[in-house]
Amino acid sequence: MKGGLVMTASGLYCPAGDFYIDPLRPVERAVITHAHADHARAGSASYLCAREGLALLQARLGPDARIEALAYGEKATRNGVALSLHPAGHIRGSAQVRIAHKGLVTVVSGDYKTVTDPTCTPLAPQRCHAFISESTFGLPIFRWPRADAVMAAINAWWRENREQGRTSILFAYALGKAQRILSGLDPAIGPILTHGAVEKINRVYRRAGVVLPPTQYVGDLQDRKLLRGALVIAPPSADHPAWMRRFPQRSRAFASGWMRIRGHRRRRAVDRGFIISDHSDWDGLIATVAASGAETIGITHGYSAEMVRWLQEQGYDAEAVDATQRAGDENR
Ligand SMILES: [Zn+2]
Ligand SMILES: [Zn+2]
C-alpha cells in the first residue's frame, strides 16, 4: 500500500475516492492512464481519461463505453478526493494520475517516457509524497540512443533497400510507436504502406490533428511495382508467412527498446533492430523519480524487484506494486 492506494484483485484502488486505476477487471469507476490493451480493458461501468486520449480510448473500448475526459491539469473531485491527469509522454493522451487527499499527494505514472515525441504532449513531472512509477526498462543496461539518430538510421536503411529494389518491412507496435516513427520518416524516399491495424490508429491520430506523412493501407495497393522501394509499417504480430508472402524481396526490421538486447534481436530474426521505445530508459526513470520529490516510491511493470532494490540503496522507501500484469512484450 502506497500513498492511500491499495492493491486489490481488480487492480490499484483508491478507497477514499472509490475508483480504480487501469483496473484488471470490470469495475464501477475506472481511471485510465492510456489506451494500450494492458491498461484499458473493456467492461467497466464508467471511465475517466485525458481529453487528448479520448478518441483513442473510445476506438479501443467501443462506442458504447461511457467515457468522461479531463483536460491535462483540470481538477475533478471524487468523494472529496482531488483527481487530475497530467501528461506522461508515452503515447497520445497518456496520463499520470494525481490524487490529493487530506494533504497527501500520490501520483501514478502509468507508462511514460522523458524524450520528446512529436505525436503527444511531453511528460510533465509532478511533485508528490508518493510516486508509483513503471519500470518496464528498469535496469541500467537500458539506455536509449537519441531518437533523431535512430530515425536517421531508419531512413538510411529504407533508402538503401529502395536502391536494392527491396521492400522495407518495419515492425512496430500499432498504437503509438508506429505513429511516432511515421512522423520521423522522410516521405521523399518512397511510398509508405501500412498494415490495417496501424492504418486504423493513423486515422484517429490524424483526426486529432497529428501531422503524419501520407500512408496507404497495403491491402488497397493496386500497382505491385510500388512495393519495391516502399516502407511498410506493421505490428509484430503480422510477422508470419501468410502475411509476409506478398513481399518477396524484403528487409525486415523491428523498432523497440528490446532491440537493446542482442538475444531479442536474434529471437526476432530480423535484419535490423532499431532501439526506440515509448518507455523511459534507466536514466529517465531515475530522473523522474528524483523530480517527483517523493520519499515513498511504488514500482510496477517490468524490472520492479531490481529497481526497488536500487532505490532502497539510495535511501528511498520503495516497494514493488504489481498493479498491472505484464502482457508479454506487447506495447513496449
Ligand atoms: Zn503503454
Ligand atoms: Zn504498460
Dihedral (Cα; 219, 220, 223, 224), 10-degree rounding? 0
- How would you write the pLDDT of the chain (332 residues) with one tens digit per residue? 567 899 999 999 999 999 999 999 999 999 999 999 999 999 999 999 999 999 999 999 999 999 999 999 999 999 999 999 999 999 999 999 999 999 999 999 999 999 999 999 999 999 999 999 999 999 999 999 999 999 999 999 999 999 999 999 999 999 999 999 999 999 999 999 999 999 999 999 999 999 999 999 999 998 888 899 999 999 999 999 999 999 999 999 999 999 999 888 888 889 999 999 999 999 999 999 999 999 999 999 999 999 999 999 999 999 999 754 444 444 44
Question: For residue 301, which ligand has an atom nearest its CA?
Answer: 2
- How far apart are the C-alpha atoms of 286 and 229, rounded to whole Å? 41
Question: For residue 329, which ligand has an atom nearest its CA?
Answer: 2
Q: Rounded to 5 degrees, what angle do the CA atoms 189, 192, 196 make?
A: 170
Neighbours of ion ligand 1 (CB under 5 A): 36, 111, 331
Cα of 60 to ligand 1 centre, how many Å? 13
Q: Which amino acid is at 163?
A: E
The gap from C-alpha 126 to its chain's centroid, in whole angstroms, comes to 19
Cα of 225 to ligand 1 centre, how many Å? 36
Grid cell locating 5: 492506494
This prediction has a pTM of 0.94
